[in-house]
A and B are shown apart, each in its own frame.
Chain A
Amino acid sequence: MDVIVENLTKSFGMQKAISAVSFKARQGEVLGFLGPNGAGKTTTMKIIAGFLFPDCGEVYFGKDSIRKNPARIKQSTGYLSEHNPLYEEMNVVDFLTFIAKLHRIPRYKIDSRVVDILQLCGLEHEKHKNIKELSKGYRQRTGLAQALIHDPEVLILDEPTTGLDPNQIAEIRELIKRIGREKTVILSSHILAEIEATCDRVLIINKGKIVANGTSAELRSKSNAGKTLRVRIGSAGEEDIRQALGALPGIQKLNHPAGSPFFELQSDRETAIEQLIFDTCARNGWYIQELTPVETRLEDIFRQVTQN
């Protein structure tokens, strides 16, 4: 089921939280939501999940609109909110059974479904504990379990890996990717590596507006930072190399960390800088030991679009 968000606008009093946010999350795709604190990620997620009402704009799940068919949408959506609210006084099994009943899972299927989901989220050993006795990681797993129990078509996860240990983070990422192959997943995170590892497409939101939208590769190519190369040249003095490289046309930045045999140079994308480096070396009788392109990291793109 595709999720289409059109012109979503929401204000809290005088403060505009998001303004004219539009995007599309396709089925079989994990969409990553990135943004600095207070950018409007959580507000957008809460509106998509049907908790907040937008001032204007629409969200469509397939053909259903969030304003006209909220019940049907909620039936096929799993939502894990940022603070992961749970009924503290219930135990894990009772809580998951209660949520399963709310989702109208047939009575005879509930027990087996709860057992499956406990196994999937690694909660078997904690299942009879009250939720208030669980550690943060296990609480997070319980939150994830309640979002997944009815096998939803659309999964909305607001920072799903907070509080988990590294093994569990890897497992959950793997799980999200697996679900994302068939279902629609919208995921927000502060951890850029997580977005890069799990998401097919990235959406960067800043001050309530979408500032970048595309796959990580697309964002890199669109980014106006030039390409970066790492060069190691043998049989020459460092100062000579620095002067020769610095004189090349199209060079934006040349770095030489002290003690390192590598030079890091940034040039604009139009210049065939590799060829120029080769020619320079050939002219001077130097030989190239290493020439590696350094990819622009998502972090740099993030900084670039959110700081302007």
Chain B
Amino acid sequence: MGTIKILIGKELGNYFNSWSIYIGYVVFFCVCGFYAWLSANNLFYIGQATMKPVFAVINWLQFLMISALTMRSFAEEKRNGTLELMLTKPVKTWELIDGKFFSCLLISLIALLLTFPYYVTLAFLGNLDHGTVLLGYFGLLCMAAGYISIGIFASALSRTPVTAFFVHFGIAICFQLLFGMLAEQFNQGFMNSFFNYLSMEEHFDSLSRGILDSRDILYFCSICAIFLSLSRFCIYKNRY
């Protein structure tokens, strides 16, 4: 655990040392704010005290931004050779992966916390169901964790950050959109429930409606476990 903490410290230091992360935060905050308060169907217009429309925007924004956040993680380390430096230090491969995973997750958490003032404002304006909103935030964090693990896998697979970006986009869009669309194609039966189960949107929906189901938690945990193990496999493969 100590090593992971050291690695997280280093990763966060590197992220917050560059301008791009602050630009990312400002863009994220502004776009969410614009959609929540200023756009055509803003929170005043719908006449209900609910964060659901804002969550939908956050969901898509973080989907895009996590690609940019994770693309460098391993692709750049491989290209610069620093992966060799790390793996000849007393650091295990899974510690390296977890360090990157948790640092990205913390960055996503900070981004989500930036939208907390919207929630507070809305709570003053109307009668808000706090449980639902908090579960919605939890759902967004789970989705972020899922996409980060996919992003780290894409980065471990690719030689350059740009390739990693597109690989991540390709895999993540399946979970974000395509599996849901496929499920709609099959009205019912096994295929319908299978694709519905795979679709991340479906699991997020039930959380944002305020239903805490162990199956959803299990789903997000399995996504993280599967993609992080695949990343470990990719890194191991390069060393053989």
Contact A79 B88 (CB under 8 A): yes
Q: Residue on B with the closest CB to A78? A: B88
Contact A71 B14 (CB under 8 A): no
Residues of B close to A53: CB separation below 8 A: 239-240
Interface stretch (choices A29-37, A94-102, A186-194, A227-235)? A94-102
CB under 8 Å from chain B, chain A span 75-134: 75, 77, 79, 81, 83, 85-90, 94, 98-99, 101-104
Contact A90 B14 (CB under 8 A): yes
CB under 8 Å from chain B, chain A span 172-223: none
The interface size bin for chain B is 20 to 34
CB under 8 Å from chain A, chain B span 1-18: 2-3, 6, 10, 13-14, 17-18
Residues of A close to B3: CB separation below 8 A: 102
The interface size bin for chain A is 20 to 34
| Chain B CB within 10 A, most for which of A46, A86, A87 | A87
Given A74-B89, A101-B6, A102-B91, A83:B14 Cβ within 8 A = no
Residues of A close to B88: CB separation below 8 A: 49-51, 74, 77, 79, 81
Q: Residue on A with the closest CB to B87? A: A51
Q: How distant is the Cα of A94 from the Cα of B81 in the complex, in angstroms?
A: 19
CB under 8 Å from chain B, chain A span 262-302: none
Report B2 CB to chain A, min CB distance, Å: 8
Contact of B90 among A75, A81, A94 (CB under 8 A): A75
The answer to whether A244 has its CB under 8 Å from any CB of chain B is no
Taken residue by residue from 87 to 115, chain B's Cβ proximity to chain A (1 for < 8 Å, 0 otherwise) reads as 11111100000000000000000000000
Contact A52 B90 (CB under 8 A): no
Contact of A74 among B6, B80, B90, B240 (CB under 8 A): B90
Given A85-B85, A87-B14, A71:B80 Cβ within 8 A = no
Q: Residue on A with the closest CB to B84? A: A51
Contact B89 A94 (CB under 8 A): no
Contact of B81 among A50, A71, A75, A85 (CB under 8 A): A85
Given A51-B84, A71-B90, A86-B82, A98:B17 Cβ within 8 A = no
Contact A50 B87 (CB under 8 A): yes
Contact B14 A102 (CB under 8 A): no
Q: How distant is the Cα of A98 from the Cα of B5 in the complex, in angstroms?
A: 11
Q: Across the A-B interface, give the 8 residue pairs with the lowest CB-CB distance, nearest first.
A: A85-B81, A74-B90, A49-B88, A75-B90, A79-B88, A85-B82, A101-B6, A102-B89
11 A-B contacts, Cβ less than 8 Å apart?
A46-B84, A50-B88, A83-B81, A85-B82, A85-B84, A86-B82, A89-B18, A90-B10, A98-B6, A102-B89, A146-B85
Seed contacts A85-B81, A85-B85, A87-B82; 5 additional CB < 8 Å A-B pairs: A74-B89, A75-B90, A85-B82, A98-B10, A101-B6
